[in-house]
Structure 1
Amino acid sequence: MKTITIIQPWATLIALGEKQFETRSWSTKHRGELAIHAGKKIDREACEIEPIRSTLAKHGYTADNLPTGAIVALCNLEECYMVDNRHDYGTIGLKAKNGKFIMWGGSRGNEYYFGDYSDGRCAWQTSNVRHLREPIPAKGMQGLWNWEGMMA
């Protein structure tokens, strides 16, 4: 199964269904099943910034109890969009248009604060997220990698 390693707290935010888009500096052609692996690194500073802190707390998490070095969720990778902020679309919001991900005049709650939506970055849209209550220990890697621990 294709897998992506994501540092904490972002891996858990995806696992909890609070973060739908993973932002990356690179695109992928992969679509379909994707395992979310929480890397060993925790960005403790990010865990204290709102709205990350309160979102984690709502689910009983702090920087001290986030799972690391483990598969924390399974999901589907629906689409990969290029971020395009060169137009004035108003306030915080996200919309896919012609294969690009743009800012627009709506709101998606905290989504904007859970990623880096700078021009030229890629927004990977996830769906059907299944949070694993018992994380499965696994060694992570850079890029997309194959996890043999569970086959779809």
Structure 2
Amino acid sequence: MKALSIQQPWAEAIVRGYKPVENRTWFTGYRGPLLIHAGQKWDKDGETFILDHLGRTEETTLLLKSAGERRGGIVGRAMLTDCVIRHDSPWFFGKYGFVIEYPEAFADIIKCRGHLSLFNVTSDIRAALPSMAGRAVAP
């Protein structure tokens, strides 16, 4: 299964369904299930964007608190459905946008190291993933 490392708080915004597109400088032809790995680094500009875009609400405070606590592992999954050069979302400002659908935040982080680009997770990480039983999945 493929995974993508993303700095917090962006990763948390994706798995909680706020951020429908992940900005990248490179194209991918991959489409399918994607684990969201939250890196160790914190993007202060991302925090500012989230506060400006979503407002200073209790929900936003919880999102940022969770993002601060959930670093260095898999925090959720989604479907990568497209890679675009234009997107009407205010979250898109990259050369390429990985379109993310069907996000799901995991209750617990699955600790593991991240990697550059898309990477395959090990069998022990796959075994630790929450079950998909009873969940709606992408067509």
Q: Which segments of 5 or more consecutive residues in structure 1 lack a partner in the other structure? A: 84-92, 95-110
In the alignment, does 2:120 pair up with 1:146? Answer: yes
Separation (CA, whole Å) in 2 of partners of 1:7 and 1:145: 15
For 1:18 and 1:6, how far apart are their aligned partners in 2?
Answer: 15
- Tell me the TM-score normalized by structure 1: 0.71
**Equivalent of residue 106 in structure 2, options 89, 113, 132:** 132
Structure 1 residue 122 corresponds to structure 2 residue 125: no
The answer to whether the aligner puts 1:71 opposite 2:74 as a matched pair is: yes
The within-5 A match list for 1:56-95 is 57-58=59-60, 60-62=62-64, 65-83=68-86, 94=88
Who wins on radius of gyration, i.e. which is larger? 1
For residues 85 and 45 of structure 2, what CA distance do their matches in structure 1 show?
27
State the 1:57 CA deviation: 4.2
Q: Hey, what does 1:87 align to over in structure 2?
A: none
Task: Show the counterpart of 1:100.
Answer: none
- The percentage of aligned residue pairs carrying the same residue is 27
Q: Deviations over 1:46-76 (max 9, x none)?
A: 3134126637843613368341101011111
Aligned residues, how many? 123
Q: Map of 1:50-61 to 2, 5 A cutoff?
A: 50-51=52-53, 54=56, 57-58=59-60, 60-61=62-63
**1:46 and 1:52 in contact (8 A); partners too:** no
Structure-2 change in CA distance of 1:56 and 1:71 (3 Å) = farther
Runs (5+) with no aligned partner, structure 2: 133-139
- Tell me how large the CA RMSD over aligned residues is: 2.4
Counterpart-to-counterpart distance in 1, 2:30 and 2:57? 29
